[in-house]
Amino acid sequence: MTNRPELPPEIARRRTFAIISHPDAGKTTLTEKFLLYGGAIQMAGQVRAKGEARRTRSDFMKMEQERGISVSASAMSFDFDGHRFNLVDTPGHSDFSEDTYRTLTAVDAAIMVIDGAKGVESQTRKLFEVCRLRDLPILTFCNKMDRESRDTFEIIDEIQENLAIDVAPASWPIGVGRDFIGCYDMLNDRLELMDRADRNKVAESVKMEGLDDPRLADHVPADLLEKLREEVEMARELLPAFDRKSFLEGHMTPIWFGSAINSFGVRELMRGISEYGPAPQPQNAADREIAPEEKPVTGFVFKVQANMDPKHRDRVAFVRLASGHFERGMKLTHVRSKKPMAVTNPVLFLAADRELADEAWAGDIIGIPNHGQLRIGDALTEGEALRFTGIPSFAPELLQSVRATDPMKAKHLEKALMQFAEEGAAKVFKPMIGSGFIVGVVGALQFEVLASRIEIEYGIPVRFEASQFTSARWVAGPKDKVEAFVNANKGHIAQDHDGDMVYLTRLQWDIDRVGRDHPELRLTATKEMM
């Protein structure tokens, strides 16, 4: 990944990224401060409801009821330092879902937030691995430095060893815990001082002529200053210096130390994104790479959110623009159905408000309200039959059967389930033999969330029960062979919401046996969506 100097300025100034972190590290707080500095909200505290809401399960359900909040926070745009930031939210609850992976297919970079006292935690590591698969550049923010934290070298070592990535300090903390007073900006030789009294105040920033500048002593107590000089000298010897190319290739992460709640270090991190990028990157399609500067507009759906307004069954498809300059009212081709689609009411997500988008450029995320035509993985183009690749659909790891407690509502339940399947919230399989449905998810909490949503959004109380199956695999191969296999194994076959055949079993042994007996077939754990 490199920045491409030939990009039109409107595209070059875009920064589309996500925040990855373990719950509680400070993602919500940092997001608030981004919006505050981006001028998108007046006072921090407006996205708070969301952060607090996912503390407990019952609160999480409540948040799902108040979907307006979580939806508007799915993608947020704001300006900073002449750059347009598009922050795409990674679904935060502790259960890992496919949504999280897909979100990371729509961004060009990620900010990794870690808690200075806890270091690299499990969820962070998982998300980091996904970023690594795509060689995404990562900027690190070590948060909560106002509290007792680990030794700076120890934190950096842990990241280097745990995640196998070079870490280059962009700033260096001065003092620990109650004695933490700020940071020395190692990239720009500035002293940044934290104000504990006013949490929303921008830190005082003083230009220095390097670490020997005598004016440092005016601001930093002697013992802390001596330690700072020692540590920075050691850091410059032991740690790699920031190298932009290595960062853009995903081999090195610059680290800033700060305290999101005290608005400290946030601005420096944002400047880092502005200055070092990356700008919108090319996207992979089946036959070629799509460069952002290409004139024709192209984009792909990476997320679908249904029932944003429970009174209307509308949905919003979130589209990452891969190329071109989009203007409202444009007629695009919906590649899967080969039908034209006039995009008259696209939505840009400006903080808490939804706003009609008059124009958007490669790198932007727009929301397209629709009645179900747009599905995850779909391409929109100006006519070319593109298929974007790399948007995965995973085999669910947990299967349960579901039925409506009121049998009269079975038909309605089918509709509700199909909608969730299209939204990507779950896999829904209709077995060839018998009635009812089998629902597959990747994390157990998703069953509860689904049950709650089906009841709230559709008024259908449901019961999830253990299924006789525990694994699902898509069946791929020549059409006649698939048909013959399906007919011979009806008791194990179901269809997913696209009508594709799925083999259900409870034994790995069965899967291996099919592989041996039917070399012409492939049983796959992921299905690439199109």
Residues that bind ligand GDP in the complex, under the rule CB under 6 A: 21, 23-29, 51, 143-144, 146-147, 259-262
For 283, the 3-state DSSP assignment is strand
Phi, psi of 70 (to 5 degrees): -70, -30
Q: Is 24 or 397 the residue whose CB approaches ligand GDP more closely? A: 24
CA nearest to 364, candidates 17, 99, 5, 2: 17
Q: Is 14 or 144 the residue whose CB approaches ligand GDP more closely? A: 144
Q: Is 29 or 323 the residue whose CB approaches ligand GDP more closely? A: 29
For 65, the 3-state DSSP assignment is helix
Q: Is 21 or 77 the residue whose CB approaches ligand GDP more closely? A: 21
Are 280 and 362 in contact by the 8 Å Cβ rule? The answer is: yes
Shortest reach from residue 27's CB to ligand GDP, in Å: 3
Shortest reach from residue 438's CB to ligand GDP, in Å: 33
Q: Is 19 or 350 the residue whose CB approaches ligand GDP more closely? A: 19
Q: Is 35 or 380 the residue whose CB approaches ligand GDP more closely? A: 35
Q: Is 259 or 283 the residue whose CB approaches ligand GDP more closely? A: 259
Are 371 and 313 in contact by the 8 Å Cβ rule? The answer is: yes
Shortest reach from residue 78's CB to ligand GDP, in Å: 18
Beta strands at 331-334 and 339-342: parallel, antiparallel or unpaired: antiparallel
Q: Is 114 or 279 the residue whose CB approaches ligand GDP more closely? A: 114
Shortest reach from residue 156's CB to ligand GDP, in Å: 19
CA nearest to 200, candidates 267, 273, 269, 143: 267
Strand partners, 319: 301, 366
Shortest reach from residue 199's CB to ligand GDP, in Å: 9
Strand partners, 438: 401, 429
Residue 500 Ramachandran class (φ > 0 left, ψ -120 to 50 alpha, else beta): beta
Residue 329 Ramachandran class (φ > 0 left, ψ -120 to 50 alpha, else beta): left
Shortest reach from residue 53's CB to ligand GDP, in Å: 10
Shortest reach from residue 66's CB to ligand GDP, in Å: 17
Q: Is 64 or 146 the residue whose CB approaches ligand GDP more closely? A: 146
Are 195 and 213 in contact by the 8 Å Cβ rule? The answer is: no
Shortest reach from residue 73's CB to ligand GDP, in Å: 11
Find the Cα–Cα–Cα–Cα dihedral 348, 349, 352, 355, rounded to 10°: 0
For CA atoms 357, 362, 364, 367, the dihedral sign is positive
Are 321 and 343 in contact by the 8 Å Cβ rule? The answer is: no
Q: Is 28 or 298 the residue whose CB approaches ligand GDP more closely? A: 28
Shortest reach from residue 351's CB to ligand GDP, in Å: 16
Shortest reach from residue 129's CB to ligand GDP, in Å: 19
Shortest reach from residue 120's CB to ligand GDP, in Å: 14
The strands making up 182-185's β-sheet, listed across from edge to edge, are 171-174, 182-185, 190-193, 204-207
Q: Is 169 or 265 the residue whose CB approaches ligand GDP more closely? A: 265
CA nearest to 349, candidates 377, 320, 370: 320
SS (H, E, C) 362-429: CCCEEEEEECCCCCCCCEEECCCCCCECCCEEECCCEEEEEEECCHHHHHHHHHHHHHHHHHCCCEEE
Give Cα separations from 491 to 55, 430, 486, 524 (angstroms).
Answer: 41, 12, 9, 19
User: Distance between CA atoms of 84 and 80, rounded to whole angstroms?
Assistant: 6
